[in-house]
Structure 1
Amino acid sequence: MKSTLNLGILAHIDAGKTSLTERLLHTAGVIDEIGSVDDGSTQTDSLALERQRGITIKSAVVSFSVEDMTVNLIDTPGHPDFIAEVERVLGVLDGAVLVVSAVEGVQAQTRVLMRTLQRLRIPTIVFVNKVDRRGADTERVLTMIAEKLTPAVVPMGSVAGQGTPAAVCTPYTAADTGFTSRLVELLADHNDAFLSAYVHGDNTLSYPRLRGELAAQTQQALVHPVLFGSAITGAGVDALTAALKELLPSARGDADGPVSGTVFKIERGPAGEKIAYVRLFSGTVRTRDRLPFGRDQGRKDQGRRDPEVGGQEGKVTAISVFDEGSADRSASVSAGRIARIRGLGDIRVGDTVGIPWTKGPEHRHFPPPTLETVVVPRRPEDKGALHTALTQLAEQDPLINLRQDRVRQEISVSLYGEVQKEVIEATLADEFGVDVTFRETTTICVERLTGTGAAAEIIHKDPNPFLATVGLRVEPAPVGSGVEFRLGVELGSMPYAFFKAVEETVMETLRQGIHGWQVPDCTVTMTHSGYAPRQSHAHAVFDKSMSSTAGDFRNLTPLVLVSALRRAGTVVHEPMHRFHLEVPADSFGALLSLLARLRAVPRVDPVMRGTSYLLEGDIPAAQVHELEQRLPTLTSGEGVLESAFDHYQPVTGAVPARPRTDHNPLDRKEYLLHVVRRV
């Protein structure tokens, strides 16, 4: 029976990973001609914008065979704006190839990716690409890898003629004593028994045993073999293909066990139907199966607990399993494989199918998008079509959060970076026929409670105009814990539908606090409840003017909750990025002045390494884009910046406010005029 390897190819933009994907498919005989990134003819870059810009935006799956092993290869984005797309894919991988350019070496995004791979303990091979390009220097790049990525690396071969189209990559063998000595020393660092045998000159340390131990430690993500080659000429690709089978672990899973899988991508078919890309960790799914799915219990969405976790079910109408370069129809899919499954209409990216898988790498909580912009249709009549299109895009990427402004009839979308604007604009035009523009990008803040507050309004008592009693107490909760709604009253004190109306309205109202920002990480307890039972006039039908409805609770809850928030107090926090900077020594002074102006704060003292300074600190998310723009000029193109969301911290100076998108319960008179048409 064929084994399966679910493999990710990751790299900084332009390191050549999509070209490497093409070369691997060609070497395996899946394609007859290698596509060109520049010409837009590659197998995995299918979006129009991917072809135009020569970058990968959406992950894509292709497959090929290495002897008796099927490799499902996932080509992932390299641009930092799409790190969420990359990290979604990592949870379904068995192993990875991290591509590094032999010319540019280790770059900012390379470090971010390697840190993530190490944190998730994903077995990784490093492939140094472009050895045929002028300026290639494998020794320099190997040193960079050891210094900036991980010291636990071992080169698996040599390169002759580097920097020329005739570059040749030769794998090391047992006859290369320098290689075997380095290999023994590296492996001994991670295996005490192996170290003891090495120190005592054990004759059983044969070359096959060395290779076996190398495979074992690579599969545990303890060491990282480094191979060299060129995706363009094909040099070194045969050695890489062999290493995939020898050094990376094949997929494991019990085909007869309970069904458990993860959805890492959603796309729509020609008829608009949803197609879920599922990595199956356990069990077997067959056509016509009733398949339960829902959000992972550990998942958080912008710090908010989802009140609708799990509980959904769909009937599988079709299954396509990846094999030999295409996704072929199949009656079933078993553990270890990746499949495209149709029929699950309400499924979303990040959903679990079957039962949650608990034996994989740690659950990934994605950092929240820290930027926001208003999307405006160029033609006013496209407002409805724009809303539909953006809703579908948000289904495919749960980290694209939409905010509907009912007052101004506008839609805001959250972002990780400016490049995402281009992607959204091109996707809306190409796939939905909607032309849009964007307003200025702003930073997304949050409001955190500073204390505890409570409020209540009682039925039939002024100033409460609604047939409902609602009392709420809000308390701060630990950072990252999300929002929890509790009952401090008897569940039987009124119909369940009324409690549900209060809970849902609480979650909705907390999206806009006192200053208009979301309020995360708090506990909301319902302290008072009451309602008017269903009544009617004599011999008449139900009269809602005498009886409570869910609408009474939905309308009253925002007034009570904002009163409690006011009494508790909130402080606006802005998103902060952790940054790592490497800059030439001669530009260090000018850089410090820039960082001070951008309100960046170093965390540690600068470290001198060679002719460069290394600096780590925090910078407001709003200032990252300017730092990215100024850095190349300031450092003559030699500065390297890594940054990613790290935490929120209180805003200093003027408190930013966000325009409200509701009827503003902070202004009771305005709110009641809109809701009940009277004060």
Structure 2
Amino acid sequence: MPNQKRRKDVRNVAIIAHVDHGKTTIVDALLKQTGAHIFKDGETVIMDSNPLEKERGITIFSKNASMRYKDILINLVDTPGHADFGSEVERILRLVDGVVLLVDAFEGPMPQTKFVLKKSLELHLKPIVVINKIDRPNAQPDAVVNQTFDLFCELNATDEQLDFPIVFASGKEGRTTLDLSDDNRDMKPLLDTIIHRVLPPVADLDQPFQMLVTILDYDSYIGRIAVGRIVHGSVKTGDPVVLITREGNHIRSKVTKILAYQGLARVERQEALAGDIISIAGVPEVRVGETIASPVNPVALPTVNVDEPTISMNFSHNTSPLSGRDGGRFLTSRHIRERLAHEAMMNVGIKVEEADGGERFKVSGRGELHLAILIETMRREGYELEVSPPKVIFKEVDGDLLEPIEEVVIEVDSGYQGAVIESLGNRRADMKDMQMTSVGTIRMEFHIASRALLGFRNELLMMTRGTGVMSQIFLEYQPFKGEVPRRPTGVQISQGPGSSVAYALWGLQDRGEIFIHPGDPLYEGMILGVNNKGQDLVVNAIREKKLTNIRAAGSDEAIHLTPPREMTLEFALEFIEDDELVEVTPKHIRLRKRYLTDNERRRHQAITRAANASAAAKG
């Protein structure tokens, strides 16, 4: 609207891209260019400050930073590229007036590029396209520009959005350029493009204070912190405010602290103006999507819509015989309930429901990785818990059963594509595209049910000898695709408690892959390996070699153990079946049967068979 007032000395912009296309590295280079942060020796990616982010090399939590360039304050937000953290991306885009879309100069647009760009275009944000990693061998920046333009057209971008500026960059080398023939060595071309192409924020200082809460933070000293952008007016420490809840209730509070970003550091301020991205403390009941406004004229802003969860798991306290022996500090259902309630309050992508009278909790999220990150965070905080296999969330619309479908892009060396196509064909996947890349690899695109993908990532690595690359994104709900193959192998189950013995494991490793080391503690019902023959097998892993007083050269065979699989949370969640659980403690990840004794398992199987027969007879 022509009469909207804008604040000319501020630009709010988000960095969006597919996983590992270099968002965080570009932000670091911009901070270096503007002198907003002094790097320590050996420090490279300062925005990924969370230990999990450093280990996995991905951005999980969105973060803010600010820098000053040519007397203009640029607020930058680094967003997650993984589709599982889509709730973060969606909320962050409400804070900004423009987006910097990063695309890898070799890989080109990928599924999550499409995901984050679609969200941006729906919010009518103007993009700046940065073709990153132009220093990579086999980079093809000109071809990637054409692919990106095709993607914009596919997503129905407006003519104005299609007129996007293009910047070529190498975040690693800290340089950008508007022309590939120009050997510019700094980040100024990108900073100038942001200033000229991103609109100043709409900000009317004369109207009463209004702010939409897009992120929640928590501090043990000052309590809940609301993060958002001031839409109108200004606010000072000590000002009375009104929280307008989703239900329309008005709750009066007082601002006790205002925090803003200076570089990467959060600094306290006495006053903030429209257009600023700030954090406010003093509103204890605030939730994401609610409005904090002036008591003079409290009007709610449009709330944030977040994509629905597609995967759920059951969390419960650890009931294994080894509970409490691994340094866990939070062992009870009450501890887990409080932690999950806190997570659901801070993370709008997570939904928590109680089951079995509060003994178990159904936790729903946007994908396996989304929930795996929560579990990993909890175990590092000292929680012990049991987790059931991930289940997709079905919908029923007009009597039809619908299930979530994912778009999957797989890139493999030529020669492996036949095995991949056969495996995904068995999982009822539909191939949509296959083409050869400039370096001779094969890139394939499939549409496949989310539940059919569970366990496939590890299978892909096995069949491609670790060279296959897979990325996936939620597409839509489609009619139920029918049954898909289950795990073809059985498991080896510990017969009783004790410590595993190398001699016993040596005799068992011919049956299948082993998950434990000699000397590891065992209990009855614990899963210690794979049984290749397809059915579950109860084994004795604590059996020692019988000693005799007869010795002869060469009569004793040397024990050669294959190194066991390093148990990771992702593998464990993909591997287990309906009657199995993952035991998660601060020090170990173990697999176990839901019912530990053989008699319990047989009784439960008999009950299940009877129930299935009864249902079939009624049907």
Q: What is the TM-score of this pair, normalised by structure 2?
A: 0.64
Distance 1:151 1:382, change over 3 A: closer
- Equivalent residue, structure 1, for 2:477: 647
- Equivalent residue, structure 2, for 1:281: 231
Distance 1:3 1:625, change over 3 A: farther
Q: Distance in 2 between matches of 1:47 and 1:10?
A: 19
What's the secondary structure of 1:407's corresponding residue?
Answer: helix
Q: Distance in 2 between matches of 1:352 and 1:116?
A: 22
What's the secondary structure of 2:95's corresponding residue?
Answer: coil
How far apart are 1:596 and its partner, in Å? 4.8
Map residues 578-657 of structure 1 onto 2, 5 A cutoff.
579=407, 594-600=423-429, 606=432, 617=447, 619-626=448-455, 642-647=472-477, 649=479
**Partner of residue 319 from structure 1, selected from 258, 275, 281:** 258
How far apart are 1:232 and its partner, in Å? 1.9
**Residues 247-305 of structure 1: CA distance to partner in whole angstroms, max 9, x if unpaired?**
11111211221333221211111326111111111222222233222445xxxxxxxxx
CA contact (8 A) 2:315 2:386 kept: yes
How far apart are 1:132 and its partner, in Å? 2.4
**Residues 545-580 of structure 1: CA distance to partner in whole angstroms, max 9, x if unpaired?**
xxxxxxxxxxxxxxxxxxxxxxxxxx5834322536
CA contact (8 A) 2:133 2:172 kept: yes
Q: Distance in 1 between matches of 2:249 and 2:29?
A: 41
What's the secondary structure of 1:229's corresponding residue?
Answer: strand
**Residues 342-400 of structure 1: CA distance to partner in whole angstroms, max 9, x if unpaired?**
01111112222233336xxxx75322111111223444843222211111111111221
Q: What is the TM-score of this pair, normalised by structure 1?
A: 0.59
Q: Distance in 1 between matches of 2:214 and 2:361?
A: 26
**Residues 289-338 of structure 1: CA distance to partner in whole angstroms, max 9, x if unpaired?**
33222445xxxxxxxxxxx3443332211111234443322222221111
Q: Distance in 2 between matches of 1:94 and 1:326?
A: 22
Percent identity between the two aligned chains: 25
Map residues 375-454 of structure 1 onto 2, 5 A cutoff.
375-378=315-318, 379=324, 381-407=331-357, 409-430=359-380, 432-447=381-396
How far apart are 1:239 and its partner, in Å? 0.8
Q: Which amino acid aligns with 2:195?
A: K
**Partner of residue 575 from structure 1, selected from 359, 380, 403:** 403
Q: Distance in 2 between matches of 1:133 and 1:608?
A: 24
**Partner of residue 33 from structure 2, selected from 27, 38, 50:** 27
Q: Distance in 2 between matches of 1:607 and 1:132?
A: 28
CA contact (8 A) 1:126 1:226 kept: yes
What's the secondary structure of 2:357's corresponding residue?
Answer: coil
Q: Distance in 2 between matches of 1:24 and 1:86?
A: 21
1:260 aligns with 2:266: no
How far apart are 1:42 and its partner, in Å? 3.7
- Equivalent residue, structure 1, for 2:309: 369
Q: Which 5+ residue runs of structure 1 have no aligned equivalent?
A: 153-185, 191-216, 297-307, 451-570, 660-679
Q: Distance in 1 between matches of 2:40 and 2:275?
A: 28
Distance 1:577 1:145, change over 3 A: same
Q: Which 5+ residue runs of structure 2 have no aligned equivalent?
A: 1-6, 177-186, 294-298, 319-323, 325-329, 485-577, 580-619
**Residues 445-483 of structure 1: CA distance to partner in whole angstroms, max 9, x if unpaired?**
3456x6xxxxxxxxxxxxxxxxxxxxxxxxxxxxxxxxx
CA contact (8 A) 1:294 1:311 kept: yes
Task: Indicate the RMSD between aligned Cα atoms, in angstroms.
Answer: 3.5
Q: Which amino acid aligns with 1:22?
A: D
Q: Distance in 1 between matches of 2:80 and 2:264?
A: 20
Q: Distance in 2 between matches of 1:345 and 1:645?
A: 37
- Equivalent residue, structure 2, for 1:328: 267
**Partner of residue 70 from structure 1, selected from 73, 94, 104:** 73
Map residues 96-115 of structure 1 onto 2, 5 A cutoff.
96-115=99-118
Q: Distance in 1 between matches of 2:129 and 2:41?
A: 23
Distance 1:633 1:63, change over 3 A: same
**Partner of residue 251 from structure 1, selected from 158, 177, 201:** 201
CA contact (8 A) 2:111 2:407 kept: no
**Residues 516-552 of structure 1: CA distance to partner in whole angstroms, max 9, x if unpaired?**
xxxxxxxxxxxxxxxxxxxxxxxxxxxxxxxxxxxxx
What's the secondary structure of 1:124's corresponding residue?
Answer: strand
Q: Distance in 1 between matches of 2:129 and 2:113?
A: 11
Aligned length: 448
Q: Distance in 2 between matches of 1:419 and 1:54?
A: 14
Distance 1:114 1:633, change over 3 A: farther
How far apart are 1:421 and its partner, in Å? 3.4
What's the secondary structure of 2:306's corresponding residue?
Answer: coil
How far apart are 1:73 and its partner, in Å? 0.8
Map residues 52-451 of structure 1 onto 2, 5 A cutoff.
52-150=55-153, 190=159, 217=160, 221-236=161-176, 237-271=187-221, 273-296=223-246, 308-354=247-293, 355-357=299-301, 365-378=305-318, 379=324, 381-407=331-357, 409-430=359-380, 432-447=381-396
How far apart are 1:124 and its partner, in Å? 1.0
- Equivalent residue, structure 2, for 1:480: none
What's the secondary structure of 2:113's corresponding residue?
Answer: helix
Map residues 35-50 of structure 1 onto 2, 5 A cutoff.
42-50=45-53
Q: Distance in 1 between matches of 2:41 and 2:391?
A: 39
